Structure 1
Amino acid sequence: MKQLSGSDNIFLFQEQKNVFNHVASLMIFDVSTAPEGRVRFKDILKHFDDRMYLHPIFRQRLANAPFGIDRPYWVADKDIDVEYHIRHIALPEPGDWRQLMIQVARLHSRPLDRSRPLWEAYIIEGLDNIPKLPKGSFAMFMKFHHASVDGMAGLHLASQLLSLSPTTAAPSSEQRTVYVDRDPSSVEFVSRAVSNGISRVLQAGKLSARLASKVVEIGSEQLMSQKGSSNPDEQLSFPKAPPTRFDTEVSAHRVFDGFGMPLSRIKRVREKVPGATLNDIFLAVAGGAVRKYLKAKKELPEESLLALMPMTLRTDASAGGNSIGAATVRVCSDIEDPLERLQAAHHAAKAGKFQAEKLGLDLFSKLLDTVPSFVGDFLTRKMLLQSLNMTVSNVRGPDVAMYLAGAKAMCLYPVSIPTNGAGLNLTGVSYNRVMWLSMVSCREMVPDPAFFIACMQEAWDELLAAADALPVIPPAKAKPAAKAASTRKPTARVAAAKKTAAAKPATAKTAATKTATAKPAAKAAVRKPAAAKKPVTQSK
C-alpha cells in the first residue's frame, strides 16, 4: 500500500464534470507481421494477461480515507477483470480517419471508474477505408489516470506491455510474482493521517525557509540585472498571457487529431540551423500552428501565446506516479518567418528553463506535498493556469518498433489533457524514427480540428522548406555558425534563405510537398487522407 504524492493527488482533486485528468495514447497496428498474418481479440487478451504482472499499475485501485482526512492510497487487487478493462469496438461505415479521430475524442471525454484500477484499453477495428493502412489493421486507444503515470512513466509502461519482436515468447508463468493488499481499516487511516500531518508540519517549516531564501536570492538578482546588462536568457520575467479562445473554461467534449514529423527531416533542420534542438523545432511548429489558426479566425494577438512546458525530474521511469516540474515559455506566435521563429523559440525555451531552475524545478511539487489539497488546487488555478494559454510537451519514446500479439505498432499518438485556463494541448512523442504530434482541445475552442492540424502541418512544411533553402555549412564553419544562429536578430544566413527562397519558389514548394507526413502507413508513417487538408486561409 502506497500513498499518493501531492502531485499525484492534485490530478484527482481537480477533476470536474468538464475536466477528466487521464492521459492516453493511440496506436495503429499492422497485423501482417503477426505469426499467422492475423490477430484475434483473444490473442490481445492473452498478451495483456501474460504481461500485466510486470507493472503494479494494472492492479492498483484507490483506497480513500474517511471524510477525506488524508490523501488516498494505492492498494493492489488480487483479481482483475481483463475483459472489463479491455473493450472491443469497431468504427461504423465507412471507417475513415475522421471517424477514428471522433471515436478517440469521445472515448477521451469519458471518466475512468475510480472503484477499479484506473486504466482502460479499446481495440478498434474497421479501419480499412483509411488510406495507406494495410488491410486488417486495428487501433488501440489506451488511457491511464494522470495520478498514476506521467509521460515518461507511461512510455516505460508501454515498453513493458508491448514486445520488441513479433515472435517474442510470453514471460514464463514461473516468473510471475503478484503482491496484493488488503483495504486499511478506519483506525489505520486515522493513525496514518495523524502521522502524516505531523510530518507535513515539519516539511512546511523547511519549505518556508527555502522559499524565504529564494525570495531574497531572486530579489538581489533582479536588482543586479537592473543595474547592468546581462544575458537576456538568464533574467527572470513574468509575462502576462494575452487573452485568446484557449484560456477560458473548457467544455466536457474533446477533439483530437495529429500527424507525424520524421526524425530524419528534423535532423535536416538541425544540420542547417546549428544549435537548434528537437524541442526548439517542436516549439516553433506549435507557435506557427496557433499563429495560422488564430489569424484565420481574425483573433491573433500581437503578443506571443504563453505555454506550460512540463519538465521531467525523474531518473527512474519504472517508479510510476508523477515527478515533473514545469517552465513557462513563449511559443513565438508573434513571429511569421519560420527561421526567425525557430531562433526565438530557442531563446524562449532556454529562458523558460533557466527561470524554472532558478525558482526550483521541484518547488511546486514540494509545495503540493506539504499543503492541503484544496490549497494546492487554489494555487494551481490562480497562480499557474491564469498566466497561460496552452500546454506544450514532448517526450522521447522508444527508437525501435514495438508489437502487440505479433502486430507491429506503426504509430504512437499521445492524447493529453486540456484544462480550464489552458484549453489547447500540443504534445509530441518520438517513436520508431518519427515524432508523432497531437492536438487535444474542447469542441467549442477548436470546432475544426482537421483545419488546426492543417495549420500545424503547414507550419512544419514551411520550416523544413526554409531550412532546406539555407546553404550547406562546411564542417569547419559549423561552430562559428552556431554562434551566429544563437542571436536574436535575423542572421545573414536567414536573409540568404529568404533571397534563395524568393528566387526558387518552385524548389521550396517541392520540398514542402515532400515533407507531408500524416497518418501511419505500413512500415512507415501513415498519411492522413488528402481531403482532410484544408487551405490555411480558411476562416470560420
Structure 2
Amino acid sequence: MHLMSPLDSTFLHAESREHPLHVAGLQLFTPPADAGPEFVRETYEAMRGSEELTPTFRQRPAVALGGITNLAWAFDDAVDLDYHVRRSALPAPGRVRELLELTSRLHGTLLDRHRPLWEMHVIEGLDDGRFAIYTKMHHGVVDGVSALNLLQGSLSLDAADADVQAPWSMPSRATAHAEADGSRLQKLSGAVQSTVRHALSAGVLARAALWEQQMTLPFRAPRTMLNVPIGGARRCAAQSWSLDRIKAVKNAAGVTVNDVVLAMCAGALKSYLIENDALPDAPLVAMVPVNLRTARDTDGGNVASAVLCTLATDLEDPAQRLATIAASMRDNKTVLSQLPRSQAIAMGLTTTLAPALLSLIPGIGAATPPSFNLCISNVPGVQHPLYRNGARLDGNYPLSMVVDGQALNITLATSADSLDFGLVGCRRAVPHLQRLLGHLETSLKDLECAVGL
C-alpha cells in the first residue's frame, strides 16, 4: 500500500452520489481515408490487447490502519480490462447531439471504488464516420493536466503509425530522483507533516493577500442561479474555436490567451444570465486552476493551485471587461509566483476548496456569499496534430466536475490549431446548457470588434 496525499484523500472523502469527483476527456477522431468498416473495432481490440498496466491505472482506495478508508492506495495485480474498456454504439441518427447525451449519462455515474478508478468508452456510430473515446479518471488519482498528459501520451505525431498504444500501458513520466519506499509509519509521518505545512502556509497567504497584494478573495462572489445545491445528473456540451482568432484578440489587446478565454466566458455568462433574468449587479468571480506540475513530476496525483479572478460582468464594454480580467489575473498570479510550491498548493486549498466546504455547514452556507461562482480552467494541450492508428484527433474536450454551490464548470484545452471547450453542468440547475456555446461565439465576435479586428 501507498499512503495518499492529503489533497488526494480529500477528493475521495468529499465524493457522494450527487457529487461524482472525476475528470474526463472526450476525444473525436476521423478515420483515415482507407479505413474499412471494422476500423473502430480493430482499434478497440488493439488497445484492449495492452494488458501491462502502469501503477496509476492499477490503484484503488484501500482500508488501512485498522479500518480507516481513503488514507492509502492499494495496487491490483490483475485488472479486468473488459470492465474498464468498453465499446458502445450511438442510436440513430448518430449526431453529435446523441454523442453528448451518452457522454452526459456516463459523466454522471460514480466510479467503482472496489476497482481502479478509471473507465474508457470507445464510441462508434456517428453519422459522419467519426468515432469518439470518452475516458474518465477520479480526481483523487489525477488532476486535469495529468489526465490530459496520459491520454495524449498514447497518441502519435505520425499519421502512418499503426502501432496502437493504450494510455494505461504508457510509461509515466518519472521524477529525476525516485522517492525511496519507507515504512508505513514514516509515510504517515510525512503525510501529517505535509498537512501541517499546508495549514501554516495559510497564514503566509493571508498576510500576502490581505495586506500586500489585495488579491481577489473568497466569499466576495454574488449569489447566482449557478450557486445552488446540485443533483447527480450531468449535462455536457462541447465545441472548438480557432486558436488564431483568439490569438488575434490577444495580440491586439496586449494580454494573454487565457485572459481572452476568460473574457470570452465572461461575455457568454453575462448573456446567459440575462437570458434567464438572473444577472447579479456585482461581477461574477471565477476560480482559475494554475498548473504547478514540472517535468520532474510523475503523471498522477494532484499538483495544482488556483486563483480567483473577477469576470467583470458588471461592465458593458467588452474591451474594458477584458482589461479588468487581465489586471485581476496578473495581480493574483503575482502573489502565487512569490510562494514556494507547498505554500502555493496551500493557497489553492485556502482560497477554493476550504471555503467551498465551509459553505456547506448548515446555517453558514445560506448566510454567506459563494467563495466563487464557477471554475474556468485552461489545460495545456498540444500544438501539433495527433493520431491513433492513423485516425486524426479532431477534438479533445476536457470534462471536469461540478460541486454544491458551483453548478457549472468550463474547461478547455489546446488541440493543434483549435481551443476545445468542454462544459459540464448540473442537469437540474443549469437549463439549456448548449445555449452557452452560442453565447461564447457571440462573445468572441464582440471582443474582435472591441479591439478593432
TM band (smaller chain): 0.7 to 0.9
Cα deviation for residue 337 of structure 1 reads 2.2
Report what 1:387 is aligned to: 371
Matched, 1:126 2:102: no
Residues 111-190 of structure 1: pairs in structure 2 closer than 5 A = 111-128=110-127, 133=128, 136-170=129-163
SS in 2 for 1:142: strand
Cα-to-partner distance string for 1:187-215 (whole Å, 9 max, x where unaligned): xx9x82x5455445555665666555555
Superimposed CA distance per residue, residues 13-62 of structure 1 (whole angstroms, 9 cap, x where no aligned partner) = 11011011111111111112566585132432313534x64743222233
The answer to whether the 8 Å contact 1:35/1:167 transfers is: no
In the alignment, is residue 293 of structure 1 matched against residue 272 of structure 2? yes
User: 1:64 is matched by which residue type in structure 2?
Assistant: V
Consecutive unaligned residues of structure 1, counting only runs of 5 or more, are: 180-188, 223-233, 471-540
Contact 2:54–2:171 (8 Å) recurs in 1: no
Distance 1:215 1:109, change over 3 A: closer
Work out which of the residue numbers 407, 425, 432 in structure 2 matches 1:423.
407
Give how far 1:166 is off: 3.3
Question: Which residue does the alignment assign to 1:20?
Answer: 20
CA distance in structure 1 between the partners assigned to 2:355 and 2:262 by the alignment: 26
CA distance in structure 2 between the partners assigned to 1:265 and 1:364 by the alignment: 33
1:60 corresponding residue in structure 2: 59
What do the CA deviations read for 1:307-356 (whole angstroms, capped 9, x no partner)? 11111111035431110001011122222222222111111211332344
CA distance in 1: counterparts of 2:422 and 2:171, whole angstroms? 35
Conserved 8 A contact 1:253-1:442 = yes
Q: 1:74 to 1:284 in 2, by over 3 A?
A: same
User: For residue 71 of structure 2, what is the aligned residue in structure 1?
Assistant: 72
Distance 2:432 2:196 in 1: 50
Query: Are the counterparts in 1 of residues 54 and 170 from structure 2 also a CA contact under 8 Å?
Result: no
Is the partner of 2:395 in helix, strand or coil? strand
Residue type of the alignment partner of 1:14: A
Secondary structure of the equivalent of 1:103?
helix
Mapped to 2, the partners of 1:204 and 1:105 lie a distance apart of: 35
Paired with 1:368 and 1:353, the residues of 2 have a C-alpha distance of 12
1:145-198 alpha-carbon deviations (Å, 9 max, x no partner): 1111112211211122222223325389xxx9999xxxxxxxxx9x82x54554
| Alpha-carbon distance in 2 for matches of 1:389, 1:335 | 17
Picking from 353, 356, 371, the partner of 2:333 is 353
The answer on whether the counterparts of 2:201 and 2:347 sit within 8 Å (CA) in structure 1 is no
Contact 1:45 1:83 in 2 (8 A): no
Task: Output aligned runs, 1:269-418, within 5 Å.
Answer: 269-273=249-253, 275-316=254-295, 318-357=298-337, 362-363=342-343, 365-366=345-346, 380-382=356-358, 386-418=370-402
In angstroms, what is the RMSD of aligned CA positions? 3.2
Q: Distance in 2 between matches of 1:32 and 1:79?
A: 34
Contact 1:27–1:410 (CA under 8 A) maintained in structure 2: yes
Larger radius of gyration: 1
CA contact (8 A) 1:49 1:82 kept: no
Report the 3-state secondary structure (helix = DSSP H, G, I; strand = E; otherwise coil) of the residue aligned with 1:32. coil
What do the CA deviations read for 1:397-449 (whole angstroms, capped 9, x no partner)?
11122222321111111111111111110111001110011211111222212
Corresponding position: 1:454 with 2:438: yes
User: Residues of 2 paired with 1:271 and 1:368: CA distance?
Assistant: 30
Paired with 1:420 and 1:333, the residues of 2 have a C-alpha distance of 22
Structure 1 pair 413/208, CA: closer, same or farther in 2 (3 Å)? Answer: closer
% identical equivalent positions: 31
- Tell me, in whole angstroms, the C-alpha distance in 2 between the residues paired with 1:455 and 1:418: 21
Structure 1 counterpart of 2:378, which letter?
N
The 8 Å contact of residues 6 and 195 in structure 2, kept in 1 or not, is answered as no
- Deviation at residue 71 of structure 1 after TM alignment: 4.5
Query: Mapping of 1:246-257 within 5 angstroms?
Result: 246-257=226-237
Letter of the 2:343 counterpart: L
SS in 2 for 1:258: strand
Equivalent residue letter for 1:100: L
CA distance in 1, matches of 2:325, 2:204: 31
Q: Distance in 2 between matches of 1:171 and 1:140?
A: 14
CA distance in 2, matches of 1:20, 1:458: 32
Partner of 1:184: none
* Long gaps (5+) in structure 2: 173-181, 361-368
What secondary structure does 1:168 align onto? coil
Residue equivalent to 1:83 = 82
C-alpha distance in 2 between matches for 1:178 and 1:250: 38
Deviates more, 1:382-391 or 1:450-459: 382-391
SS at match of 2:406: coil
User: Are 1:466 and 2:450 counterparts?
Assistant: yes
Aligned-partner Cα distance in 2 for 1:314–1:272: 30
Q: Secondary structure at the match of 2:137?
A: strand
The answer to whether the Cα contact below 8 Å between 1:55 and 1:157 also exists between their aligned partners in 2 is: no
The runs of 4+ residues in structure 1 deviating greater than 6 Å are: 176-179
| Cα 1:453/1:10, change in 2 over 3 Å | same
TM-score (norm 1): 0.72
Helix, strand or coil for the counterpart of 1:170? coil
Which AA in structure 2 matches 1:353?
Answer: K
TM-superposition CA deviations, 1:212-261 (whole Å, max 9, x none): 55555666x45xxxxxxxxxxx4335361111011111111111112111
State whether residues 224 and 373 of structure 2, in contact with CA within 8 Å, keep that contact through their aligned partners in structure 1: yes
Give the SS at the match of 2:281: coil
Number of residue-to-residue matches in the alignment: 430
Question: Contact 1:33/1:406 (CA < 8 Å) preserved in 2?
Answer: no
With structure 2 as the length reference, what TM-score do the two structures score?
Answer: 0.85
In the TM superposition, residue 286 of structure 1 has moved relative to its aligned partner by 0.8
Tell me which moved more, 448-457 or 206-215. Answer: 206-215
Aligned AA (1:403)? Y
Specify the SS of the correspondent of 1:47.
helix
1:164 is paired with a residue whose SS is coil
1:290 is displaced (CA, Å) by: 0.7
String of CA shifts for 1:57-84, please: whole Å, max 9, x gaps: 2222332215553753333333232221
Amino acid aligned to 2:116: P
Any idea what SS the aligned residue of 2:106 has?
A: helix
Kept after mapping to 1: 8 A contact 2:88/2:122: yes
